[in-house]
Amino acid sequence: MNSPAAGVSMTERLFAVVPAAGGGSRIGAAVPKQYLDLGGEPMLHRSVDALLAEPRIATIVVVLAPDDPRRPPAGRFDARVHWLPEGGATRAESVRAGLDALAAGDSDWVLVHDAARPGLSAKALARLIDTVRDDPVGGLLALPVADTLKLADSDDRVCSTLPREALWAAQTPQMFRAGVLRQALAGDLTGVTDEASGVERLGLAPRLVRGEPPNFKVTLADDLELARVLFSHGGN
């Protein structure tokens, strides 16, 4: 693949990677969940549109499975969007492939956004960028946990109640400098469920930036129905 950032000045310091190589089996659909319809568009397209609303993003690499034949119609997205059929077996492997495809210097910022979070608003995205771009580590959108949390045993019986005061539910995008991400995603990726967990393994503490409830991840059939309601009312 030619460098997706070719022709983009390196003074442009903000890039994005969308890992979209997964199958989404938990939703029980006949096609990967990122291609399920939301208001006449595939979910993946909605998630990419959310990033395109931010003019400061120079390049977006969407990482697909190697055997994925789906591509958007010509002209559906502007020239900032590039499709990379080099996804791996895990999210972290796909993000690493997308990062490798970017002509990003170590000090450039990279946003990583889930293909299954179509409800990202322009306001939340701008808040993340504005809050994190001068941070020494980077950060992510997240929501303070409001529900009471129970720890269960193997029989689904309550072992204990967890204090929720310091708990946050991670969202995306997650925003880190390219050099930090390269270190975080190098070597063994066991246990790296998101970019922040990889950065934490480096001994760094990412910043939490308040997200929004509509930016939930579509994982189960009920989530899909909620997302369809959201986009039937004009989306975000």
* Statement: residue 229 has pLDDT above 80: yes
**Higher per-residue confidence, 47 vs 164:** 47
The greatest distance separating any two alpha carbons of the chain, rounded to the nearest whole angstrom, comes to 57
User: What pLDDT was estimated at residue 7?
Assistant: 36
User: What pLDDT was estimated at residue 31?
Assistant: 85
Residue 223: name the closest of 22, 36, 10 by CA.
36
Confidence band of 29 (pLDDT split at 50, 70, 90): confident
Q: Which amino acid is at 78?
A: D
Predicted confidence (pLDDT) per residue in 2-17, tens digit? 344 433 333 448 999 9
* Average pLDDT value for residue range 106-133: 97
The percentage of residues in the chain with a pLDDT greater than 70, rounded to a whole number, is 92
14-232 sits in which CATH class? alpha beta
Peptide bond into 173 cis (omega under 30): yes
The token pair at 200 is: 């934490």
d(CA 204, CA 184): 10
Question: Domain ranges in the chain?
Answer: 14-232
